[in-house]
Amino acid sequence: MSNRPRATAILELVSSCRPGWSLPQDFYLRPDVFEADLRLLEDRWVCAGHASEAPAPGDWFTTELGAQSAIIVRGEDGVLRALANVCRHRGSRVCVGPRGRGPLLTCPYHAWSYHLDGRLRAAREMPDGFDPGAFGLKALPIKVVGGLVFVSFGADPPPFGDAEPALAAMTALYGWEGARVAHRESYAVAANWKLVMENYHECYHCGPAHPEFSVLHALARPNNRTLCAEPDPKTGLADFEAWASIPDGRETARVMRSALTHGALTGSADGRPLAPPMGPAGARWDGQCVFGELGFLSAFLAYADHGVIYRFVPRAGQETEMEVIWLVAGAADAGRDYDVERLAWLWDVTSRADKRIIERNQAGVASRAYEPGPFSLMEPGTQAYVERYVAELARRADGL
């Protein structure tokens, strides 16, 4: 549905952007921009988690974005489906909480119950002529690549095809299809989601803010583009594949191989292994890691022995959740094969530091004295991200 005054106001704001500079203040503060952002993000793909979180029929977990909620559920037929978490009676959430299991999905309000594939099974005391076949839970688009589960809240999301090869290469190299979740943490960041994503896309701040990360990762160095320049011989995964521009709204993924330094084999305090190796890359312990991402809100980090999923969830105009999920090989046992505290250490300490610096960024951006500033040579990822967002906002302004 077109909202002309809002579209005009947003296009005016877009025209005030200066290439190579950070965004004007209104992008981070105006409620109408946040509303448009949510529409834009809901129509694309986001990572909901890992397929191992619902291993057996009846297992489900939920994922949210703005006012939207999806149930990711494993059916009797073993197929993973995404269903809108909205009861077809009078609209209650059906599944409450992050995860659960059961033979049916039963609405807690008036107890309508649904089969695991979304079909309505039973509704009490309905009038003659009521057709249960017309009241199944709505199906949402879902895609599973190498164990990663992606959903969209849009009826017609962009084709996944452009994004899939890069994600498939990364997940195959690190055996993510057979992985399982070892740990998860959630970080509430009091900042607009774009400040969180801008921070994620540059390592200009890594030196000052992340001493633990910087000692291990070549990415923290100014000349990191020259490191790890050879594509992986087996998968063709290249160093620093740039974002494709998406003027026509296709979904995009990026993967980027990068070297570890000082002989480190993984992202641990001493560079030594944390868990059993994962996939062919783990078998080689090649001193590399891979950073990956999909669309606007999902990011991944693969080491030889563990993986990290970053799920960024805008909650309100100046409130964003960062959920971090740690993966290990499916056969690895906590205590015997890995220690959760050691495993989670690097990205926990890094996420806590990011929360602090992003919240200070939000505080400054909200002040009268804020004006856009120029990007450094170490912020091309953030500049590309911002340009991609602004182009998409302008392209879709009429329909948001």
**Out of 25, 52, 92, 261, the residue judged to bind ligand FES by CB under 6 A:** 92
Instruction: Answer with the entry of Fe ion, ligand FES, none that 213 interacts with (C-beta below 5 to 8 A by kind).
Output: none
Residues β-bridged to residue 254 = 293
Size of the site for Fe ion (CB under 5 A): 1
Rank residues 86 and 189 by Cβ distance to ligand FES and give the closer one: 86
With b for 16 or more beta-carbon neighbours within 10 A and e for fewer, the 256-291 pattern comes to: bbbbbbeebbbbbeebebbbbbbbbbbeeebbbbbb
Q: Residue 95 interacts with ligand FES (CB under 6 A)?
A: no
Cα(273)–Cα(267) distance, integer angstroms? 8
Q: Is the dihedral of CA 149, 219, 260, 226 positive or negative?
A: positive
Residue placing its CB nearer to Fe ion in the complex, 305 or 354:
354
* Dist CA 358 CA 370 (whole Å): 15
Q: C-beta of 349: minimal distance to Fe ion in Å? A: 11
Identify which of residues 110 and 352 has a Cβ nearer to ligand FES in the complex.
Answer: 110
Asked whether position 379 contacts Fe ion by CB under 5 A, the answer is no
- Interacting residue with Fe ion among 53, 354, 379, 392 (CB under 5 A): 354
User: Of ligand FES, Fe ion, none, which one does residue 379 interact with (CB within 5 to 8 Å by kind)?
Assistant: none
Segment 377-382 long-range contacts (CB within 8 Å, at least 24 positions apart) = 377/222, 378/202, 378/203, 378/204, 378/222, 379/201, 379/202, 379/204, 381/201, 381/202, 382/198, 382/199, 382/201, 382/202
Distance CA 136, CA 356 (A): 44
Residue position matching structure tokens 């979904």:
251
Nearest one of 262, 240, 295, 272 to 346, comparing CA atoms: 272
Count of CB atoms situated within 10 Å of the CB of 205: 17
Stretch that binds ligand FES, among 65-73, 107-115, 189-197, 269-277 (CB under 6 A): 107-115
Residue choice 6, 39, 89, 315 for contact with ligand FES (CB under 6 A): 89
* Closest C-alpha among 388, 66, 50 to residue 198: 388
Give how many residues touch ligand FES by CB under 6 A. Answer: 10
Angle between helices 193-200 and 340-365 (to 10 degrees): 120
Phi-psi region of 111 (alpha: psi -120 to 50; beta: other; left: phi over 0): left
Sheet with 307-316: list strands edge to edge.
179-189, 319-329, 307-316, 298-302, 288-294, 253-259
Nearer to ligand FES, 111 or 334 (CB): 111
Q: How far is the CB of 123 from ligand FES (least distance, A)?
A: 7
Residue number with CB closer to ligand FES (90 or 360): 90
Which of 71, 87, 220, 297 lies at the binding interface for ligand FES (CB under 6 A)?
A: 87
Which range, of 189-197, 228-236, 256-264, 347-355, touches Fe ion by CB under 5 A? 347-355
In angstroms, rounded to a whole number, what is the distance separating the alpha carbons of residues 335 and 347?
19
- Of residues 63 and 199, the one with the C-beta less far from Fe ion: 199
- Judged by beta carbon distances under 5 to 8 A according to partner kind, the member of ligand FES, Fe ion, none in contact with residue 90 is ligand FES
Query: What is the nearest approach in angstroms of ligand FES to the Cβ of residue 111?
Result: 6
Query: Of these partners, ligand FES, Fe ion, none, which one is at the site of residue 71 (CB under 5 to 8 Å by kind)?
Result: none
Residue 371's alpha-carbon distances to 27, 117, 205, 243, 271, in angstroms, are 12, 51, 19, 27, 41
x/- site string to ligand FES, residues 109 to 138, per CB under 6 A?
xxxx--------------------------
Which partner from the list Fe ion, ligand FES, none does 121 bind, CB cut-off 5 to 8 Å by kind? none
- In the complex, residue closest to Fe ion by CB: 354
Residues at the interface with ligand FES (CB under 6 A): 87, 89-92, 107, 109-112
Residues at the interface with Fe ion (CB under 5 A): 354
